[in-house]
Structure 1
Amino acid sequence: MSNPPTALATAQGTFRVAVDGDATAPALVLGNSLGTTLEMWEPQVLALSQAFRVIRYDTRGHGDSPVTPGPYSFEELGQDVLAVLDALGVDKASFCGISMGGHTGLWLGVHAGHRLQALAVCNSAARIGALGPWMERAAMVRSSGAAGMRTLADSAPGRWFTPEFAQAQPAVVQAAQEWLAGIDPEGYAACCEALGASDLRNALGRIATPTLLVAGDADPVTTVADAEAMQAGIPGARLVVLPASHLSNLETPQAFSAALLGFLAGALAA
């Protein structure tokens, strides 16, 4: 069993954080996707915590982390990660994030590479979507509140999972839907605004941290082509494509963990 989350006071606010593994092991931070919580990483904790001090956190606006008025920026979301590391006394860590969390990882790679040992950017892109739709979604959830979050949760399986997985694993899909339905509308909207505003395509060449890119071959949100574009921009980046949709760590948990652990073993030994 993984350790329960606790409230961690940081310079950026009090974040909901869960820490597993040996306190002397290399640190690995896991960043959640838009509309989920740190529980999304539960399938990975046991495997990863054998070799790492695994640090999961709820992104700002999500779960029991700070819900401050938006819009947010990825500078703010990236500084949140650094504040969590500082509060835990961690100088350097590896970072793995999915979707929004992966984009946070890109920001860290560009702007705070001195704090990173390795970087895994999963089911993400240097530019996720377009400004207009993100602003429309933010406005929708702000105006409709919890009912709007439930509407998003009802439609999420089509974006997050393949139909085959959704049919075979309804409990996993329902759990993910409940994470989304429970997110604070303001926090969700503010993260939508951060996603709409951020474009790191021209900054990828500044990432010097060893980088793994993970894509799902059936991901309609952040495609294999998005991952290939990041690979072309990040020096030495590796790409792994999994048979999954957008939340590949939930759809193919063993393959995801194996790819991540294999990459980290090589990156930290170099």
Structure 2
Amino acid sequence: MRIARLDNTSLHWREDGDPDGYPVVFANSLGTDLRVWDKIVPHLPKNLRLFRFDKRGHGLSSCPPAPYSMADLARDTENLLDQLGVSNCVFVGLSIGGMIGQSLATHRPDLVRALVLSNTAAKLGEAETWQDRINAVRADGIASLAEPILDRWFSAAFRQNTEVAAWRNMLTRTPSEGYIGCCAAIAGTDLRATSAELHLPVLAIGGSEDLASPPELVRSTASLIPGATYKEIKGVGHLPCVEAPEKFATLIGDFIEETLNG
């Protein structure tokens, strides 16, 4: 296991693929860790250098006191990539990870050559809704919200899979302080103005059954960014990398090939 010691936190990260390949960086969703990408790794092109990390308060990374801001999360990612010597990457962000990617591309365009925005938006929900979730976790823990969260994460068909029990465990074992901190970051973030000024290749991916970031929300964010492309995977929810890893990996692989050779 690898730990990067940064200014205000320590991040757990992992590298796979070709050490001489083109860098691709993955940022995961709220309540998950870097294992959320496990299923797609075998299906990606072999000439890529793949970096994954647990954002602060998740997985094996450290958990500073809440609240966090999106600037905090983007700065962590910026510092990690600088420490690893990674620049000009393709950045793949899922949900809050996509918000981190948009922020990073705005403030450090040298680090991001292209963006994949999966099941995310420039603005996710309303601050009051996120505060209600924060209050619920403070009062009764993440487990009290697990079933409705899993309903938003996965399609009804996938919810019948025994694998969902493992995802529930991942969610409920997320430190409450880290989960609350990231909820606060989402609540305080509206990237619509800055994302509309991005000028880089962007692929936005939605899931037809996503109740957390509905397809129309992902599509509307894509429409903000000049030249962005929107693709939808049918029959999947908020985590298409889990429900449809081959389709998801194909979309990313084709996008990377087009970006690098276009």
Give the TM-score range, shorter chain.
over 0.9
Q: Mapping of 1:110-129 within 5 angstroms?
A: 110-129=106-125
Amino acid at match of 1:261: G
Q: What is the CA–CA distance in structure 2 between the aligned matches of 1:177 and 1:39, rounded to whole Å?
A: 13
Greater per-residue helix proportion: 1
Name the residue aligned to 1:155: 148
Could you tell me whether the CA contact under 8 Å between 2:213 and 2:238 is conserved in 1? yes
Could you tell me whether the CA contact under 8 Å between 1:113 and 1:207 is conserved in 2? no
1:245 to 228, 232, 237: 237
Name the residue aligned to 1:261: 253
Q: What is the CA–CA distance in structure 1 between the aligned matches of 2:47 and 2:143, rounded to whole Å?
A: 38
Q: What is the CA–CA distance in structure 1 between the aligned matches of 2:84 and 2:219, rounded to whole Å?
A: 34
Amino acid at match of 1:196: A
Question: Could you say what secondary structure the match of 2:221 adopts?
Answer: helix
Q: TM-score, normalised by structure 1?
A: 0.92
Q: Mapping of 1:207-246 within 5 angstroms?
A: 207-243=198-234, 244-246=236-238
CA displacement at 1:24 relative to structure 2: 1.4
Could you tell me whether the CA contact under 8 Å between 1:94 and 1:119 is conserved in 2? yes
Could you tell me whether the CA contact under 8 Å between 1:123 and 1:223 is conserved in 2? yes
Question: Could you say what secondary structure the match of 1:188 adopts?
Answer: helix
Consecutive unaligned residues of structure 2, counting only runs of 5 or more, are none
CA displacement at 1:156 relative to structure 2: 2.5
Name the residue aligned to 2:82: 86
Deviates more, 1:67-76 or 1:150-159: 150-159
1:190-229: CA deviations, max 9, x gaps? 1000101101112222211210000011111211211221
CA displacement at 1:142 relative to structure 2: 2.3
Consecutive unaligned residues of structure 1, counting only runs of 5 or more, are none
Deviates more, 1:40-49 or 1:13-22: 40-49
Q: Mapping of 1:23-34 within 5 angstroms?
A: 23-34=19-30
Amino acid at match of 1:199: D
Q: Mapping of 1:137-156 within 5 angstroms?
A: 137-144=133-140, 148-156=141-149
Question: Could you say what secondary structure the match of 1:114 adopts?
Answer: coil
1:148-205: CA deviations, max 9, x gaps? 21122233221111111111x221x112111111011011001000101101112222
Q: What is the CA–CA distance in structure 1 between the aligned matches of 2:50 and 2:35, rounded to whole Å?
A: 13
Amino acid at match of 1:137: R
CA displacement at 1:49 relative to structure 2: 6.2
Q: TM-score, normalised by structure 2?
A: 0.95
Name the residue aligned to 2:131: 135
Identity among equivalent pairs (%): 33
Name the residue aligned to 2:185: 194
Could you tell me whether the CA contact under 8 Å between 2:10 and 2:56 is conserved in 1? no
CA displacement at 1:111 relative to structure 2: 2.0
Amino acid at match of 1:155: P
Question: Could you say what secondary structure the match of 2:183 adopts?
Answer: helix
Q: What is the CA–CA distance in structure 1 between the aligned matches of 2:89 and 2:95, rounded to whole Å?
A: 19
CA displacement at 1:110 relative to structure 2: 2.1
Q: What is the CA–CA distance in structure 1 between the aligned matches of 2:256 and 2:203, rounded to whole Å?
A: 9
